[in-house]
Amino acid sequence: MCANDIVDKLETTGEGMRMRRGIWLALLFCLLWLAAAAWPVGAKGESRKTAQLAVVTADQVNVRQGPGVPYRPLANVHRGEAYRLIEVKDGWVNIEWKPNRTGWIAARYVALAKETAIVQENRLRLRQEPSRDGRIIGHLARGETVWIIKEDGEWTEVIADGAIGWVSSAYLTAARESSISHQTGIVNASSLNVRAEPLLKAARVGRLVRGEEVEIVEKKPGWYKIASQTGLDGWVSSAYVQVKGGQANEKEAEAPQSADRSLPSIIAPSDSRLYVDSWTRGPVQALAGKTIVLDAGHGGKDGGAQSVDGIKEKELTLETAKLLKNKLQSYGARVVLTRSSDEYVPLSARVAAARLYQADAFISLHYDSAADPDASGITIYYYDRFADYELAQSFQGLFRQLSALPFRGIAFGDYYVLRENEKPSVLLELGYLSNRSDAAVVATNGYQEAVTTAIVNAMRHYFQ
């Protein structure tokens, strides 16, 4: 007896009607099961494992305990920060935001990358848009490994050391086609930390000095795993290792414009005894042997900002610079002042001082002004995401602890002394002279002592 006969026989009774409905429900269930089995990868509700990197694209994003807004926030992540991607599920991504700590962030606030490429030219320009007219936001080193997000014609969007930007595709080679065996690098920083893992917070296992040769055994975006001739191995920032054989490219990889080579007498080598402080003898410190250029903003005919009570920025910055110089010197640092009196110094000469004395850090000191009389607080500015941002980060924790003024955060600043500077550099706005309350605070001895101590401790942390 066929299935249709059974159905016809059962239709004559109530029980048959119920049986018929059961058969159709069973058939419908089978169809739904087959459809689910054939559902394409990437459909909503999918949960998949990946080997990708998640890079934050919003200013601040909550990391949550689970994949949804109702879950409790665990921490915040910020624009440009990169994390290992563990899982994608229902519009949320699971990341490792701390070693062995995972959480979920909304997928719309991250860019995902999987394929890697090797930079083939030194100082390859990283641009904000896929165009030769796009603003330059940094430079990449030859041999550096980057993550690829997507391509647009002759341009490739990449993630490099936590920053996202566009580079000319002609200067990238797929990582699988580029062997790093027997590559040798040369340290181009006065002191380079070697870490146990490719993370800024990882334990420091040693230190390399300028000119040391290392073998590059592995690459990750922004990092090289190295083996030194002394037996030291670990991870170092790729920005401070020059791969042997690299040459500057005359197109997208060309070097930035050099500063004016005609130096005024105030920082010329013949007058260096006036502005370069001698070494301070004492126990070895993190700052010992470091050259720090302090740039007291404005001066001479350029008075800068001025408070309603007559406090001049050019005078206050010089006072801060001199006090800071003495404190840095007490820790063994070698200090260069771009000016030591009320005199006008061209911006190009200030930048040239950093190059002339091979500065390990350049700090430009300022006091702010704004049309809004209520604007208040301290701001840290940087220009190059790779060269400057780590230095800028060193200040934020200490500035947050200052009770006298609020901390406004770290921001990109297209200032000449940062943009044209080849050395790690920051510009510090230490309060608003346009705000009556700020102006009264910054002029006090107590504030000057507190803010310069915070800067010194930030520099000690940066060089540790």
* CATH number for 56: 2.30.30.40
**Is 141 or 68 the better-scoring residue by pLDDT?**
68
pLDDT digits (tens, 9 = 90+) for 342-400: 999 999 999 999 988 889 999 999 999 999 999 999 999 999 888 899 999 999 989 99
pLDDT digits (tens, 9 = 90+) for 72-106: 888 888 766 778 888 888 889 999 887 778 999 99
132 part of a folded domain: yes
144 with 216, same domain: the answer is yes
435 part of a folded domain: yes
192 with 289, same domain: the answer is no
66 with 181, same domain: the answer is no
Give the burial class of 453: count Cβ atoms within 10 A of its Cβ; 0-12 exposed, 13-18 middle, 19 or more buried: middle
187 with 336, same domain: the answer is no
pLDDT digits (tens, 9 = 90+) for 121-147: 888 888 888 988 888 777 887 777 788
238 with 361, same domain: the answer is no
206 with 290, same domain: the answer is no
286 with 402, same domain: the answer is yes
279 with 328, same domain: the answer is yes
Average predicted confidence (pLDDT) for the chain: 78
261 part of a folded domain: no
pLDDT reported for residue 293: 96
Provide the domain count of the chain: 3
186 part of a folded domain: yes
For residue 92, the enclosing domain spans 47-112
34 part of a folded domain: no
286 with 249, same domain: the answer is no
**Is 33 or 134 the better-scoring residue by pLDDT?**
134
Average pLDDT for 284-290: 75
Range scoring the smallest mean pLDDT among 13-27, 114-128, 399-413: 13-27
- Residues paired with residue 319 on neighbouring β-strands, in sequence order: none
131 with 101, same domain: the answer is no
246 with 334, same domain: the answer is no
- Residues paired with residue 425 on neighbouring β-strands, in sequence order: 362
Give the burial class of 402: count Cβ atoms within 10 A of its Cβ; 0-12 exposed, 13-18 middle, 19 or more buried: middle
pLDDT digits (tens, 9 = 90+) for 193-249: 888 877 766 778 888 888 888 888 877 766 788 888 777 888 888 778 887 754 333
Name the band, by pLDDT with cuts 50, 70 and 90, for residue 310: very high
128 part of a folded domain: yes
CATH number at 342 reads 3.40.630.40
pLDDT digits (tens, 9 = 90+) for 403-444: 889 999 999 999 999 999 989 999 999 999 999 999 999 999
pLDDT reported for residue 377: 95
pLDDT reported for residue 60: 78
81 with 126, same domain: the answer is no
169 part of a folded domain: yes
11 part of a folded domain: no
Query: Pick from 255, 288, 310: which residue ends a domain?
Result: 255
